[in-house]
Amino acid sequence: MLPLSLLKTAQGHPMLVELKNGETYNGHLVNCDTWMNIHLREVICTSKDGDRFWRMPECYIRGNTIKYLRVPDEVIDKVQEDTKSRSDRKPPGVGRGRGRGREDTSSKAKGIGRGMEDGGGRGGGRGRGGVSGGRAGGSRGGGRG
Amino acid sequence: MLFFSYFKDLVGREVTVELKNDLAIRGTLHSVDQYLNIKLENTRVVDQDKYPHMLSVRNCFIRGSVVRYVQLPPEGVDVELLHDATRREARGG
Amino acid sequence: MTDLKIIGNRNSQQQPDIKLLRLLVDKKMATDAGLENLVDQIISVITNDGRNIVGVLKGFDQATNIILDESHERVYSTKEGVQQLVLGLYIIRGDNISIVGELDEELDASLDLSALRAHPLKPVIH
């Protein structure tokens, strides 16, 4: 699965974005592109130290300033359906030889078993809202400061 | 391309990769790609007491962009061959 | 015959075959050098800011951007043992990644993380 497919699937979901400068942005993903540039709505920005906050209705973040993105757990399950239906429609061999990589991974019996287990655990154990996730990120930044 | 080819020639040898965060990892060169990303097998961190962060890792992928040095086995360096290849590349061959 | 020796070869008559050969070798190396083999396995990532994040590799791309599922951070300090923070599903940008290590689960289970003390890793300075 491609990271950018997961990101695209996360459209409409809350997420936390940490930038290379240590600032974090919590908001709902409106859109993204192949450079990982992202457009967020209803944003809370937290300073590197986690001690200052700004609210903004929307913001646009250039992809190359991003360190990582934290997306809700359930989004990963939605991607798989997406890529499956898309690859069904496409003839094999189209699209820069990506097909081969997918073949390799899907042929791993080991991986499939683990995936099922993990899926169950995730559903039962962990639920978290976008905002509380954001707080955790912010305070962690402060601790490491 | 020269260094890519050069590193491919060293596959299977023991090398020490020093990173830009001062971590030094020794291991068997497994593969290298066009970005000079490096895969090492049977890795051990050179100063494990100071850096226990990779104790449970035996195989790793190192991003080419964070490599500061690669220490090579002396017998893996053929200076004549490198001279020749360098001139060829400089000529655009 | 190895690649470098091919480049060093003065006999240019063989060029077409050699080019083909090199292409094949490159293709093999390219798939060999990626992260394919690690998909659905537990990996330990060292990021450029010195963090250590452990999770299941779900995907990656050419730029080494990666998807980490069920991830947690291992925080090292000299004052107490290693603390683990639950992070969840992460996309980590490739240019922020230093090392992707295959975590040997047996080795890892044999470690007593709570007794492990160390300075956090230094950030990468380019």
Rg (CA), chain B: 14
The reply to whether A44 falls in a domain is yes
Residue indicated by tokens 């990769």? B17
Residues 6+ apart with CB under 8 A from B68: B18, B19, B20
In total, how many domains does chain C have? 1
The reply to whether A69 falls in a domain is yes
Whether chain A has a CB inside 8 Å of the CB on C108: the answer is: no
Domain that holds residue B24: 2-91
Residues of C in contact with B39 (CB under 8 A): 32-33
The reply to whether C30 falls in a domain is yes
Both tokens of A38, joined, read 């992202």
Domain that holds residue A58: 3-88
The reply to whether C83 falls in a domain is yes
The reply to whether C2 falls in a domain is no
Q: Do the Cβ atoms of B63 and B40 come closer than 8 Å? A: no
Please give the pLDDT value at position B92: 84
Question: What CATH number did the domain enclosing B87 receive?
Answer: 2.30.30.100
Q: Which tens digits make up the pLDDT trace of A92-132?
A: 444 444 444 444 444 433 333 333 333 333 433 343 433 34
φ, ψ dihedrals at B24, nearest 5°: -120, 125
* Average pLDDT by stretches of 10, chain A with 145 residues: 97 98 98 98 98 97 98 93 52 47 41 37 38 40 37
In total, how many domains does chain A have? 1
The reply to whether C11 falls in a domain is no
Reduced to 3 states, what is the DSSP secondary structure of residue B29? strand
In total, how many domains does chain B have? 1
Q: Would you mind telling me the total number of residues written for chain B in this entry?
A: 93
Q: Which tens digits make up the pLDDT trace of B21-76?
A: 999 999 999 999 999 999 999 999 999 999 999 999 999 999 999 999 999 999 98
Residue of chain A minimizing CA distance to C39: A105
Segment C29-36 mean pLDDT:
72
Residues 6+ apart with CB under 8 A from A133: A14, A16, A26, A70, C88
The reply to whether A24 falls in a domain is yes
Nearest to B65 among C5, C95, C119 (CB): C95
The reply to whether A61 falls in a domain is yes
CA angle, C99 then C61 then A32, to 5°: 115
Query: Chain-wide mean pLDDT for chain C?
Result: 85
Domain that holds residue C79: 18-110
Interface predicted TM-score of the whole assembly (ipTM), two decimals: 0.94
The reply to whether C122 falls in a domain is no
Model confidence at C14: pLDDT above 70: no
Q: Which tens digits make up the pLDDT trace of C63-114?
A: 999 999 999 999 999 999 999 999 999 999 999 999 999 999 999 999 999 9
Note which residues in 24-63 of chain C have CB less than 8 A from chain B.
25-26, 29-30, 32-35, 38, 44, 46, 48, 50, 52
Question: What CATH number did the domain enclosing A48 receive?
Answer: 2.30.30.100
Segment C20-36 mean pLDDT:
64
Please give the pLDDT value at position A22: 97
Point out which residues pair with B25 in neighbouring strands.
Answer: B17, B45
Nearest to C67 among A1, A36, A118 (CB): A1
φ, ψ dihedrals at B45, nearest 5°: -80, 135
Question: What CATH number did the domain enclosing C64 receive?
Answer: 2.30.30.100
CB contact under 8 A, A67 and C89: no
Whether chain A has a CB inside 8 Å of the CB on C102: the answer is: no
Q: For residues C62 and A17, give the distance between their C-alpha atoms in angstroms, rounded to a whole number.
A: 21
Please give the pLDDT value at position A143: 37
Please give the pLDDT value at position B37: 97
Both tokens of C101, joined, read 């290590």
The reply to whether A52 falls in a domain is yes
Please give the pLDDT value at position C77: 97
Exposure string for A3-26, b = 16+ CB within 10 A, e = fewer:
bbbbbbbbeeebbbbbbeebbbbb
The reply to whether A18 falls in a domain is yes
Please give the pLDDT value at position C110: 96
pTM: 0.77
Please give the pLDDT value at position B52: 97
Both tokens of A29, joined, read 């993903």
Q: Do the Cβ atoms of C53 and C69 come closer than 8 Å? A: no
